[in-house]
Structure 1
Amino acid sequence: MTPVPPPAMLDITCLRRVRPWGGDPVDIAMDAGTITAIAPAGTAPIGVREFDGRGLLALPGIVNAHAHVDKSWWGLRWQSYGGEGSTEGRIRHERAEREALGIPSFERSAHVLREFVRHGTTAIRTHVDVDDGIGLRGIEAVEQAAAAYEGALDVRIVAFPQDGILRRPGVLDLLRDAAGRPSVDRIGGLDPATIDRDPVGQIDAITALAADTGVGIDIHLHDPAELGAFQIELLVDRAARLGLQGRINIAHGFAVAQLEPARRRDLLQAMSDVGVTMTTVAPLRLPQLPLAELDEAGVRFAFGTDGIRDLWSPYGTGDTLGIAWQYARAAGIVRDDDLLRVVQLATSAAAWSVGRDTHDLVEGARADIVLVDAENPQDALVRTPERALVVAGGRVLHVA
């Protein structure tokens, strides 16, 4: 199937009368996908294609730093959940049922990307399953779905061994093959202790592969408390020894929130020293990653939607701002400065997760802009209003 550009994907030269981060109204001019000027409202030169923002709040494009766009059944009829309650059980259920639902495929991935865009997402880091059953077909499907946006939507792929590495012969070779594709900038891992039952073996394998190929690592780590902390320490050690500073991300990392404060402080400092980052999907039934402690230690983190409407769970809307709301609410965050910080973590402060130095409403930045009808970023977070306009790389991808 030949990818078809989504409707309304039009170049734009100027957004007029918008309020970046809730400030005074301005005009934002852009060219070739880049913000070229920000001027008081009504003073920017008349452009060829303009959009009147009517005083709406402008935020940088929302960044989804942990997605699974290859897995969803969204767009099909409702699928009743039939899996088991454990990670292992869900893996088995998914492998048994996915082919009948066309997972993975261009159609399924394209539907998820459309939902992300509708919710203001302009940059995505997505884990894509690589295993002995589907090989690299999932990566190919996501590449095809992303290509329909002709570069406007920034999609970064993590080759993800959902069914383990060491216990499945050939998967490490598949990860090496995936690491050679331009769309893949990281390889993944999954609970080295409880899935492969060999934490040193799995971590040594993926860190050696990353060092050899030049890609980064984004590992799912659900294991709790000291078991999880031990594996994080292994990753910190390998980052220092193999030159992987700034190239390892811990997804979920429940252990960090479960440690005693002094132990957590020391672990976060060790992570910061080698640039290990974190992403969270803000699970409701578990303690949240501590915002102030992460910031104090200098550990960068960001939000993601995880899987949405898939064989693991029927939940999810594709709205990363909604995940940020969930995190703030579950963590008891109420003060304006902290609410603003949470919005930043869903937008500008997540630049690192998609390989950018800057992702903000400033001259020279990529023209990724979302407009919402809100008084300020805090209001946008607590109400998560409809996204009125989504611009990615200077192109309009969605208009409400």
Structure 2
Amino acid sequence: MPDRLVGISRVRPWGGVAVDLEFDGDRIASVVPHDPGRMRAGMLDGRGLLALPTVVNAHAHVDKSWMGLPWQPYGGEGGTDGRIRHERAHRDALGIPSVERTAAVLDAHVRHGTTAIRTHVDVDLGIGLRGIDAVREAVDAYDGAIEATIVAFPQDGVLRRPGVLDLLDAAAAAGVEHIGGLDPASIDRDPVGQLDAIFALAERHGVGLDIHLHDAAELGAFQLELIIERTDRLGLAGCVNIAHGFAVAQLPEPRRRDLLQACGALGITFTTVAPLRLPQLPMAELDAAGVGVAFGTDGIRDLWSPYGDGDTLAIARQFARASSIVRDDDLRRVVELATRDAAAFVGREVHDLVPGARADVMLLDAEHAMDALVRAPARLAVVGGGRLLHDERDARHDRDEHQERDARPDDEHDRNPGGPHG
């Protein structure tokens, strides 16, 4: 693991004027106007690049990718239940879950500027809690430079697989931050039963709930109403997240407004992976109702889909394009949701380039946050907990020099393209 930095010199937070960031261990100690004389050993030269807080991946599945293995063709049936069956039939042959596979996924996320992750980790009768152990070991290898919040996730259902509730109970007792649920109506066929069971576990252990809700329109809205009622009755305000929540974007505006206002009052949040074929969650309406929303990659290169590279900023761009977001204030808002305002999704009070925040910084060759979103350029440097985890600054410098050299007339033919008879 690289040594800790003492700071970063000459960067432009959020596209502003050049400053120096000074670190104290894994924290930002100060943000001061740039002074060339401040550069010293252990300080990274930011070279005037745009600085943003690192991207938060608020919905990942780092336990189940085949990244790093030979290409795996898509097989099996579509739909949630079809993909579950296909995954269960083939994951053992690919060594999923494992520390090695998880490490490959984490490396991809880090290279794309993510140092804080909320990851769902499968818990079922076939693997027990092994996936949680593998994820923790892979994260621990970073020695605190990245952080992962774990959701014990019942991907194969809760009630339809007797014994899964006991595993969720054990995972909560062993220290996971959240337990999950999955389509209480269409997977378990018992929305009241599944929700009562997982809410009871959350209340008993004092953990959060993060529920995958794919069901559409009124079926999804009905389950959201059940979730709202239990959140209120059990005093779990601020502890519940809905992953996907496709139904919200499919409802008539008055119906959606009432549900979002109820969610906002109870601190129920949403995470989205910006699915291309479906309406997007309405950012302005969520903001108006005080409902937090964050972005995630979902699974990448797994038995559900061959797509994905670990770039959550690209997911945010996908959301913006699919939502027809074009104005500067709205583009910047999307970047805020992907970075600063996702702090609570990974258990942080603050995630920004300010004193007291974790020293989690990414540097990009971009003018400002809006430019960074629409291009999603390479993360030229990624710092996690004050440690340099990824550095492509020299590669960028070499590319620029090569392009400049190619553009210069450096032989007689370039100076006189017509030659001696021209």
Match of 1:67 among 48, 51, 60: 60
Following superposition, the deviation at residue 45 of structure 1 comes to: 4.4
1:192 counterpart = 2:177: no
Instruction: Report the Cα distance in structure 2 between the residues aligned to 1:211 and 1:238, rounded to whole angstroms.
Output: 11
Report if the CA contact (8 A) 2:7-2:386 is conserved. no
Identity, % of aligned positions: 68
Cα deviations by residue, 1:208-249 (Å, 9 ceiling, x for unpaired):
100000000000000001110111111111111111100000
Following superposition, the deviation at residue 181 of structure 1 comes to: 2.3
SS state of the match for residue 271, structure 1? Answer: helix
User: Could you tell me which residue of structure 1 aligns to residue 290 of structure 2?
Assistant: 298
User: Could you tell me which residue of structure 2 aligns to residue 390 of structure 1?
Assistant: 382
Q: Runs of at least 4 residues of structure 1 off by over 4 A?
A: 43-47
Report if the CA contact (8 A) 1:21-1:57 is conserved. yes
* 1:1-400 → structure 2 map (5 Å cutoff): 5=1, 9-42=2-35, 45-182=38-175, 184-400=176-392
SS state of the match for residue 318, structure 1? Answer: coil
Following superposition, the deviation at residue 86 of structure 1 comes to: 1.2
Runs (5+) with no aligned partner, structure 1: none
What amino acid does structure 1 have at the position aligned with 2:45?
D
Instruction: Report the Cα distance in structure 2 between the residues aligned to 1:228 and 1:384, rounded to whole angstroms.
Output: 32
Runs (5+) with no aligned partner, structure 2: 393-422
Instruction: Report the Cα distance in structure 1 between the residues aligned to 2:166 and 2:35, rounded to whole angstroms.
Output: 57
Instruction: Report the Cα distance in structure 1 between the residues aligned to 2:40 and 2:243, rounded to whole angstroms.
Output: 43
Cα deviations by residue, 1:114-136 (Å, 9 ceiling, x for unpaired):
00000000100000000000000
What amino acid does structure 1 have at the position aligned with 2:389?
L
Cα deviations by residue, 1:79-111 (Å, 9 ceiling, x for unpaired):
000021111110000000000001000000000
Aligned CA RMSD, in angstroms, stands at 0.9
Following superposition, the deviation at residue 112 of structure 1 comes to: 0.1
Q: Which moved more, 1:43-52 or 1:76-85?
A: 43-52
Following superposition, the deviation at residue 48 of structure 1 comes to: 3.7
Instruction: Report the Cα distance in structure 2 between the residues aligned to 1:10 and 1:99, rounded to whole angstroms.
Output: 37
Q: Which has the larger radius of gyration?
A: 2
Cα deviations by residue, 1:147-177 (Å, 9 ceiling, x for unpaired):
0011110111000000000000110000011
What amino acid does structure 2 have at the position aligned with 1:281?
V
Cα deviations by residue, 1:337-383 (Å, 9 ceiling, x for unpaired):
00000000110010110111111001111110000000001100011
Report if the CA contact (8 A) 2:153-2:179 is conserved. yes
Following superposition, the deviation at residue 43 of structure 1 comes to: 6.5
Instruction: Report the Cα distance in structure 2 between the residues aligned to 1:43 and 1:207, rounded to whole angstroms.
Output: 55
Q: TM-score, normalised by structure 2?
A: 0.92
Q: TM-score, normalised by structure 1?
A: 0.97
Instruction: Report the Cα distance in structure 1 between the residues aligned to 2:113 and 2:230, rounded to whole angstroms.
Output: 36
